[in-house]
Amino acid sequence: MILDAGGGPSRYSIQLANRGYSVILLNLVPEMLKTARRRVKEAGVLGRINQFVQGSIEDLSIFPDKKFDAVLCLGGPLNHLLRAEQREKAARELLRVARKGAPIFVSSSVA
């Protein structure tokens, strides 16, 4: 199972689902989740997206420790967290939900 944290309109989730992975897409904005669901359905991979979850990358308490085989936080979700403390909290959460040795992919332009 892969977590696409801050997955937006599902760009990465669709690619992963097309490759046979099961994905949970998390996003803060309900409208973006609606767009993601529509795009996933259009791509024909709805069965591989296990959940569309509204939530923040700062609080992944909905998920247990070490749940995911891989975690993505790509395309700038961390850029929306303005304070360093917020980004650090999100990073701790992404690490917490990843299994030991799981790859974690993060992109940010914030220094």
Mean pLDDT of the chain: 94
Q: What is the pLDDT of residue 81?
A: 82
pLDDT at 108 over 90: no
Q: Is the backbone of residue 108 left (phi > 0), alpha (psi -120 to 50) or beta?
A: beta
What pLDDT does 107 receive? 87
Q: Is the pLDDT of residue 104 over 70?
A: yes
Contacts of 34 (CB under 8 A, 6+ apart): none
Please count the structural domains in the chain. Answer: 1
* CATH number of the structural domain spanning residue 44: 3.40.50.150
Residue 35 maps to a domain:
yes
Is 49 domain-assigned? yes
pTM check: above 0.85: yes
Could you tell me if residue 51 is inside a domain?
Answer: yes
**pLDDT tens, position by position, 65-85:** 999 999 999 987 877 887 889
* Three-class HEC string of 52-94: EEECCCCCCCCCCCCCECEEEECCCHHHHCCCHHHHHHHHHHH
Tens-digit pLDDT profile for residues 37-64: 999 999 999 999 999 999 999 999 999 9
User: Domain range holding 13?
Assistant: 2-58+67-80+99-106
Residue 59: exposed, middle, or buried by beta-carbon count in 10 A (0-12, 13-18, 19+)? exposed
Q: Encoding tokens for residue 30?
A: 């309900």
| Residue of 100, 41, 108 lying closest to 71 (CA atoms) | 100
